[in-house]
Structure 1
Amino acid sequence: MIKIRNVYYMLAYAYQTLNEASFKSIQAEEFNHIHDLMAAILIRGVKNQVKRGLHRDYKERSDVTGHLRGKIDVTNSVKQNTMIMQKMVCRYDEFSENTQLNQILKTTMQLLIQHGEVNAHNRKELRKVTLFFNHVSTVQPYSINWSAIPYHRNNATYKLLMNICQLVLKGLLMTTDDGEHRMREFLDDQQMHRLYEKFLLSYFKKEYPHFSARASYIEWNVDDDISDFLPAMKSDVTLTHKGKTLIIDAKYYARTMQTHAMFHSKTLISSHLYQMFTYVKNKDRAGSGTVSGVILYAKTDEDITPDHDYQISGNRFSVKTLDLSADWEDIVKQLGAVAGMM
């Protein structure tokens, strides 16, 4: 089980906005539940946003009115026979705070209030900040197209808040057979995998600035320059420094080993090894041996923990685990050992 405080540190690296002064007090708090941590971040973030001003946008409205405005909808006016009341159906734009961003925020806060394991103080604070959303409607959590949310200069400050909302609505929220909402005890593996990858990349960028750290595409080492229909290869983290390259593949799974069905023997997961072998060999086009690869699993409760190094066909391959249930100082040491493979 990952410590709640470690989840906060992972979030702080993944979303650098959490390092701003207004969020610093969260570091000193003790959280017994992941719901409480998410609530604390939203409370501070929404308060900051209220001070800046809630996002507003133009929304088209249609009203039956005797005061003409915008465009007259003649067709619907005739259908509704509004002219006998000396009124018309008018369509017009209204500058409103009832935008998708605010709807997602309100929905998330209400679900945490109603179904989350949130302490009394944070629950009270959530209720206070939702008062600023009286004119904002809620949305169905499963109808949100997260990848289609547009960010620009006027709403960029919402990006952290939307990431936290996504973790809550996709990683914690469940719907029972009778349609009722419930909250998971912890983030589901898919959302934790996403956070784990983002955390590792951001950590190496910040703590090892002398390395070039990025999630880079690896080109296929084709002989005839024809690469049509070949799948894209993108590493989770690629570190480069002084002519050396280390490709890191982040894996957050319930199991780090595979078991032979007949003999019940355990081996490393073959598909993960094949993937890393492909990455390293295509990256090391010259066969120099300066490219290495490490599969970095989040530690599970399995009896056998992968901790192996191999020299295969001139390149170094490693399979390691990161114990996210350890104290943060120990996690820093473990990541330092990974960086030391360069």
Structure 2
Amino acid sequence: MIKVKNIYYMLSYAYQSLNEASFKNIQTEEFENLHDLMAAILVRGVSNQLKRGLHKDYLVYTEATGNLKGKIDISNSVRQNTLMTRRMVCHFDQFSENTPLNQIVKTTMVLLIKSGDVTVANSKELKKLSLYFRNIETLNPFAINWNALIYHRNNATYKLLINICQLIIKGLLMTTETGEYKMKEFLDDQFMHRLYEKFLLGYFKKEYPHFTVGSSYIKWNVDGDITEFLPNMKTDITLSYGTKTLIIDAKYYGRTMQTNTLFNSKSIISANLYQIFTYVKNKDRTGSGHVSGVLLYAKTDEELTPDHDYSIGGNRFSVKTLDLGADWGGIVGQLRAVAALL
């Protein structure tokens, strides 16, 4: 089981905004559960945003009114027979704070307040902050269109807040048979896999500035220029230093090994090994042997955890396990060993 404090450290590397001074004291706090950690992050994030001011935007409203404004909708006015009451259907813009971004933040705060797993102190803080959102509507959390959200210069400061809200709503929230909302005890594997990738990328970027760190595309090493229908190859993390390159494929699964029932044996999951092999061999176009690959699994409850190095066709391939349930110092030591593979 991953310690709650480790989740915070992972988030702080995944989202660099959490390294601002206003979030620093979270590192010294102890949290009994993930919900309270998320509440603490949201309290500080919303407080920061209120100091900057809530985002406002022009929103389109439709209303049957006797005070004509905006664009008059003749067709709907006739259809609704509003002329009998000396009114017309009008479409008009209004500068309002009732924007989707603020609605998502308020919805998430309300869910945390109702969850029952947030400490009294953090719950009180969320309730105080929600007073600033009294003119803002809440949403059906499962009907939020996250892909429709657009960021620009005037609302860019909401990125961290919305990422945390999405983590809470999509990673922790579920409905009961009665249709009520309930919080899961821990993030599901899908969200943990994304967080795991972002954490590793952010960690190596910050702690190893002398490396070139990124998520890069690899071109197929084809004969000729025909690449039609070949899939894109994009690495989770690529570390480069001098002439050497290390490709890291992050894996957060419920299991790390596959079982051959016929021979009652275990082996590395075939598809994962084939994937990292393909990345390395196509990246090392000259066959220099300077490109290596590592499958970095998050440790599961399985008794057998892979920790092996192989030399295949002149390139080194490693299969390692990162124990996210260890103390943070232990995790740092494990990541140091991964960086040493470069």
Q: What's the TM-score once normalised by structure 2's chain length? A: 0.98
Q: What does residue 204 of structure 2 align with?
A: 204
Cα distance in 1 for partners of 2:216, 2:53 equals: 37
Q: What does residue 235 of structure 2 align with?
A: 235
Cα distance in 2 for partners of 1:147, 1:79 equals: 35
Task: Please state whether the residue corresponding to 2:138 is helix, strand or coil.
Answer: coil
Q: What does residue 62 of structure 1 align with?
A: 62
Correspondence 1:87-236 to 2 at 5 A: 87-236=87-236
Cα distance in 2 for partners of 1:81, 1:278 equals: 67
1:216 and 1:238 in contact (8 A); partners too: yes
1:73 and 1:91 in contact (8 A); partners too: yes
Task: Please state whether the residue corresponding to 2:330 is helix, strand or coil.
Answer: helix
Cα distance in 1 for partners of 2:264, 2:128 equals: 56
Q: What does residue 275 of structure 2 align with?
A: 275
Cα distance in 1 for partners of 2:209, 2:116 equals: 39
Question: Which structure 1 residue ranges, 5 or more long, are not aligned?
Answer: none
1:35 and 1:116 in contact (8 A); partners too: no
Confirm whether residue 317 of structure 1 aligns to residue 317 of structure 2. Answer: yes
Confirm whether residue 331 of structure 1 aligns to residue 298 of structure 2. Answer: no
Structure 1 residues 275, 116: closer, same or farther in 2, change over 3 A? Answer: farther
Cα distance in 2 for partners of 1:116, 1:151 equals: 32
Q: Tell me by how many angstroms 1:264 deviates.
A: 2.4
Structure 1 residues 294, 112: closer, same or farther in 2, change over 3 A? Answer: same
Q: Deviations along 1:45-81, whole A, 9 cap, x unmatched? A: 0111111111111111122222221111222222333
Q: Deviations along 1:24-59, whole A, 9 cap, x unmatched? A: 111111001000010000111011111111111111
Q: Tell me by how many angstroms 1:116 deviates.
A: 4.7
Cα distance in 2 for partners of 1:116, 1:330 equals: 32
Q: Tell me by how many angstroms 1:88 deviates.
A: 2.0
Q: What does residue 3 of structure 1 align with?
A: 3
Q: What does residue 82 of structure 1 align with?
A: 82
The worse-fitting range, judged by mean Cα deviation, of 293-302 and 131-140 is: 131-140
Q: Tell me by how many angstroms 1:245 deviates.
A: 0.3
In structure 1, what residue type is equivalent to 2:30? E
Q: CA RMSD in A?
A: 1.1
The worse-fitting range, judged by mean Cα deviation, of 66-75 and 294-303 is: 66-75
Cα distance in 1 for partners of 2:116, 2:329 equals: 30
Cα distance in 2 for partners of 1:65, 1:52 equals: 35
Q: Which runs of 4+ in 1 moved over 3 A?
A: none
Q: What does residue 306 of structure 1 align with?
A: 306
Q: Tell me by how many angstroms 1:130 deviates.
A: 1.0
In structure 2, what residue type is equivalent to 1:28? T
Q: Report percent identity of matched pairs.
A: 68
Q: What does residue 14 of structure 1 align with?
A: 14
Task: Please state whether the residue corresponding to 2:142 is helix, strand or coil.
Answer: helix
Correspondence 1:256-271 to 2 at 5 A: 256-271=256-271
Task: Please state whether the residue corresponding to 2:76 is helix, strand or coil.
Answer: helix
Q: What does residue 246 of structure 1 align with?
A: 246
